[in-house]
Structure 1
Amino acid sequence: MHSDTSSSQPLAHSPIWQALQAQAAEFKQASLKGLFAVDPQRAERFSLELPEFLLDFSKNLLDQEVFVNLLRLAEEAELPRWCADFFAGKPINATEGRAVLHPALRGGLQEDIEIDGDFVTAQVEAELERLKKFVVLLHNGALTGYRGKRFTDVVNLGVGGSHLGPQTTIEALRAHRKGDVAVHFVSNVDGTQLTDVLAGLDADSTLFIVSSKTFTTSETMTNARSAHAWLQRAMPEVDGEVLLQQHFAAVTSSPDKAQQFGVLPERTFRFWDWVGGRFSLWSSIGLPIAIACGFENFRALLDGAASMDKHFREAPLETNAPVIMALLSVWYCTFMGYPAHAVLPYEQALHMLPSYLQQADMESNGKSTTRAGVAVDYPTGPLIWGQTGINGQHAFYQYLHQSPEVVPADFIGSVAPGHDLDGHHEILLANMFAQSQALMNGVDAESVASELAAKGLSQEEIKRLTSFKVHRGGKPSNTILLKELDPRSLGALIALYEHKIFAQGVILQIYSFDQWGVELGKGLANKLEPKLAAGDLSGEDSSTTQLIEYYRRKKNGAVMSTELPEVAVAESAGEQA
């Protein structure tokens, strides 16, 4: 078990914490515009240029004194020691007694590590080689369904990290896709999603990948059984076990359970207990990425993440991008009391990134207990939300600009466009730069009055309208400007956020790598599911009882089908004939 020598000394009671609290109260009233006015070198001082991107954090409510104190906070939290323990494979996931080694999946360790008698790097490389061979066979048409048709469609069945990471990455790398095998995702146990995906597919040429760490996840296994039933109805003459062998692959840390389900050992790909689900896209869970984008691009993705691992491990705190982003998040959420953070990609290909980071951040640091096992008395992490930039400008940016709430934001864009259309990218980037500038500067009453006067409005009208057009400004943001959105830079970007989340958890003295809140709801759902059909409800609260009773009454009066529509089967059968 990892020993936490600092847990007996709550950081929240330390002098540096108290100093930052005092500075936070002061900087709530600070003018970002004014901070730039007094420091002509501010942009250069508070920026980092890494091989893959520029991080500009100059539009934040801090000065050099605050920045130094935040760095002192990281030192007092023993972040360098925790970082060393992380990369050394020590069980920093202490509540579950596990190492946290997703950097090992991409060659990000400084030295190889032995766990349970096996060296990690050799295991990872062996599994990557298996993935590569499988992808090559799939792209070459050597893998076929039962009736001999090459697979043209792959359906990934997974939820959480088994879905969000791969799908986010494939969407982001749309300009780097390889081959003609289409990849689809089904994550929701709501049968509508599976029905919609299967409606357009030919059963003969469809391969299913069941992605589940435990191979017991209720939602995923329900979808897997329904997918198998769909195949069976399309090919009724074929033995069900044969269909599982021919049309299914699996990615899991429980290969024995995958093989009990019916997946062949040679089509079962492994990852390990030391890989958390939300950090697993670098493992065999990334098989859909390698299929959609080619194995070489998948490897470049891993290389980009490994470069960020090296930066995080070796860079001093003051020039360490993940550490700086973690400290800014702590500064705003914990000290200044701003409970939300917006992720605003100005890249259509990154449209799923806010959802991906919601899971990575909120499932990690949404905690209420310190490593010492006592309740925290401070916020531990913000609510993460967002959307692609231009769409967001016509939706919620009104709230960002003129609401009294302050929502720190990350603007993310790239220098090189992912298309060849003239003029589009310049408009996109101009909007991104303008929005961060507008949040910083705002518009004061004097400027509004001058603008209205220039339009010829009367003094009476100017007086009436001015207050409605004032923007207070002073709203902070980071800007991450990629050189281009390619596999390597995407790997570095995602790893940047992974390490930021870890560093933030260390500073706040919480455990970032368990997720007991996820398990709670699942356990209750398992107990309630049989009661939807029948059973004693006396032990349930009145609201749950009312909801189940209403469901029972209405279900008995409605025709409800649990089968996939016959039309989908008929169309598929017609194509096969």
Structure 2
Amino acid sequence: MGDTLWDELGKLEKPTLSQLFEADAQRLDKLSTRFEVGEDESAGSIVFDWSKTHLDDAHIAAFEQLAAKMDFAGRRAALFGGEIVNPTEGRAAEHTAQRGVGKEESVALAADYHHRMAAIVEAILRGAMGEVKHVIHIGIGGSALGPALAVDALAREGALVDVHVVSNIDGCALEAAFKACDPATTMIAVASKTFTTIETMTNAHSALEWLKENEVEDPYGRVVALTASPEKAIEWGVDETRILPFSESVGGRYSLWSSIGFPVAMALGWPDFAEFLAGAAAMDEHFRDTDGAANLPLRAAFADQYYTRLRGCQTRAVFAYDERLDLLPDYLQQLEMESNGKSVKADGTPVDGPTAPITWGGVGTDAQHAVFQLLHQGTNLVPVDFIASIAPGHDLDDEHHRILLSNCFAQGAALMAGKASEDPARAYPGDRPSATILLDEISPATFGALIAFHEHRTFANAVLMGINPFDQFGVELGKQIANQIAQGGVRFDPSTEALLATCGII
């Protein structure tokens, strides 16, 4: 399909980063863009600086041709039009409709669901269901990673309720939440699209038992269900007045904007959650209405494809220089690797090149004293994203934030410039790429735009590779075998048999 263009891309000259800056005085203006999150300046802005990547005019032009060849505009229109973009499951992917951008009927339905959610959130915060100081949110995968990230990023200070997100079936995780919460003032949010996910439902049952053991009157009355299968929640025992539905066309790792965001709204209050949605909608509109390399998620995808396809990079690193974004690399791991970690195209034919790189990362400045050795002097070329906020998230001496940001920007400069030395052990090769995303501040609006940017970046990458980013059959086989173990009567390989016997499972 785009094979000839890939061949042409591979033949283009690959100047060093220093050479690219020397050859083009306008490089920074071309590849660094300030995105205004809303029409009102108070919504804030985000700088997306891709100038320290190896994208140049020739590569961008070729990638724009590739996007046209792969019908990027058509695929994007199908996404926003509510058409089937997940062919293996015959589904649309309507997470943008949750933010008010998409097919008219889907946007209207999402607004109705949000109105119901807002009413319940506001009623709980007013005390209509008794005193609520804690929420234990139980989910897994996208039903947990998004809420955990958003609460940690936006509600470290001044949270209206104390939120604990539990995803692991390991009872230690649930016990830790129990120890931090008073059962008399705790609500349980059970987040499951199907309301059958074994890890989530097992944890939910244990949480219900915890309420009963602590003599909570009407424990089911302390449960809110977040699901696309309301009838299953009713069967489980949740009253329909405490069920917050969302559409079947909203995928798990794209579901933070739906009722899965209930604990975020509880922690922040509905007005801030609405700002979060609005920030994402601003990025949706930019992605929908902007063509070529001026489209920020598409530009990022061009760089991603450059490094995976043309430079053989197998990983991509993300370092947030802000403690509030500690969980961002974990969130992006699922978003990118579950979406684009495929070996076949959307039409079922084998891919003809690498797909998603391994996403990994951490928090600066901690990571500088752990993994940056490899980034600067290792044999692996690793493109890096740095993410930071101009405004600090604390009230301590400004020196803390000055040192933090200085380190962030210094790392990008050092990766690019390198340093020669007669001592090989002290030599830095340089010419190592990075991109920087700089928020004015971490607010609900800018954070919403940041997450939406990465969703669209993931989709744009999928289009360029010709794959379907909205299914995830790779997670199913292990689940099936786990169910076979639970049911018994099935033989496995000698190693697995021995391990199961050692633990007394069989």
Q: TM-score, normalised by structure 1?
A: 0.84
Q: Residue 410 of structure 2 aligns to which amino acid in structure 1?
A: A
Residue 31 of structure 2 is aligned to residue 46 of structure 1: yes
Residue identity matched to 2:429: R
**Residues 301 and 136 of structure 1, relative CA distance in 2, 3 Å threshold:** same
Out of 334, 342, 359, the position equivalent to 1:367 is 342
1:88 maps to 81
Name the counterpart of 1:172. Answer: 153
Q: For residues 360-439 of structure 1, what are the structure 2 equivalents within 5 Å?
A: 360-421=335-396, 422-439=398-415
2:148 maps to amino acid: Q
Once the two structures are TM-superposed, the CA of residue 468 in structure 1 deviates from its matched residue by 0.4
Greater Cα shift, 492-501 or 64-73: 64-73
Query: Of the candidates 193, 197, 204, which is equivalent to residue 177 of structure 2?
Result: 197
**Counterparts in 2 of 1:264 and 1:77: CA distance versus 1, 3 Å:** same
CA drift of 1:94 comes to: 0.6
Deviation digits for residues 245-296 of structure 1, max 9, x if unmatched?
A: x111100000000011111101000011100000000000000000001111
Superposed, 1:80-479 pairs within 5 Å as 80-109=73-102, 111-112=103-104, 119-144=105-130, 150-174=131-155, 177-179=158-160, 181-235=161-215, 242-244=218-220, 246-421=221-396, 422-445=398-421, 449=422, 466-479=423-436
Shift of 1:76: 1.0
Structure 1 residue 498 corresponds to structure 2 residue 449: no
- The Cα offsets for residues 44-89 of structure 1, whole Å up to 9 and x where unpaired, read as 2221221021111110123211121111111111101110111111
Name the SS of the counterpart of 2:428 in structure 1: coil
SS at 2:190 equivalent: strand
User: Could you list the per-position Cα deviations for residues 438-467 of structure 1 after superposition, in whole angstroms to 9, with x for gaps in the alignment?
Assistant: 00011113xxx5xxxxxxxxxxxxxxxx11
Residues 176, 205 of structure 1: CA spacing in aligned structure 2 closer, same or farther, 3 A cutoff? closer
Residue identity (%): 42
Provide TM-score, normalisation by structure 2.
0.96
Aligned residue identity for 1:218: I
Unmatched runs of 5 consecutive residues or more in structure 1? 1-9, 113-118, 145-149, 450-465, 557-577
Distance of aligned partners of 1:321 and 1:357 in 2 relative to their CA distance in 1, 3 Å threshold:
same
Q: Give the whole-Å Cα distance in 1 for the aligned partners of 2:176 and 2:149.
A: 20
Specify every segment of 5 or more residues in structure 2 that has no aligned partner in the other structure, as ranges: 37-44
Quote the offset at 1:335 in angstroms.
2.1
> By how many angstroms is 1:178 displaced?
4.2
Deviation at 1:529, TM superposition (A): 2.2
Counterpart of 1:541 in structure 2 is: 493
Counterpart residue type for residue 215 of structure 1? F
Matched, 1:21 2:10: yes
Counting only pairs closer than 5 Å after superposition, residues 511-526 of structure 1 correspond to structure 2 as: 511-526=468-483
Q: Secondary structure at the match of 1:496?
A: helix
The offset of 1:201, in angstroms, is 2.2
Q: CA deviation at 1:31?
A: 2.2
Amino acid at match of 2:501: E
Report deviation, 1:528. 1.2
Write the distance in 2 (CA, Å) between the matches of 1:318 and 1:206.
48
Give, in whole Å, the separation in 2 of the partners of 1:293 and 1:376.
43
Output the CA distance in 2 between the equivalents of 1:305 and 1:217: 28
Give the SS at the match of 2:316. Answer: strand
Letter in 2 for 1:441: A
Q: Cα distance, 1:176 vs. partner?
A: 6.5
Shift of 1:196: 1.4
Kept in 2, the 8 Å contact 1:414–1:485? The answer is: yes
CA RMSD between the two structures = 1.5
| The 10-residue stretch of structure 1 (267-276 or 326-335) with the greater mean CA deviation from structure 2 | 326-335
Residue type matched to 1:257 in 2?
A: K
Q: Aligned with 2:365: secondary structure?
A: helix
**C-alpha contact 2:329 2:362 (8 A) present in aligned 1:** yes
Contact 1:209-1:251 within 8 A present in 2 as well? yes
Whether contact under 8 Å (2:313, 2:381) holds in the other structure is yes
What do the CA deviations read for 1:484-511 (whole angstroms, capped 9, x no partner)?
A: 1100000111000000100110110011
The DSSP-based 3-state class of the residue aligned with 2:438 is strand
> Are 2:100 and 2:111, in contact at CA under 8 Å, matched by a contact in 1?
no
State how far apart, in whole Å, the 2-side matches of 1:166 and 1:62 are.
Answer: 34
Secondary structure (helix, strand or coil) at the match of 2:196 reads coil
1 CA distance for matches of 2:439 and 2:51?
A: 17
Question: Which range moves more in the overlay, 223-232 or 263-272?
Answer: 223-232
- Residue 503 of structure 2 aligns to a residue whose secondary structure is helix
Structure 1 CA distance for aligned equivalents of residues 454 and 319 of structure 2: 14
Aligned-partner SS, 2:467 = coil
Larger Rg: 1
Q: 1:177 to 1:320 in 2, by over 3 A?
A: farther
What's the secondary structure of 1:209's corresponding residue? strand
**CA deviation digits over 1:523-554, x for unaligned, max 9?**
111111244xxxx45x31111111112112xx
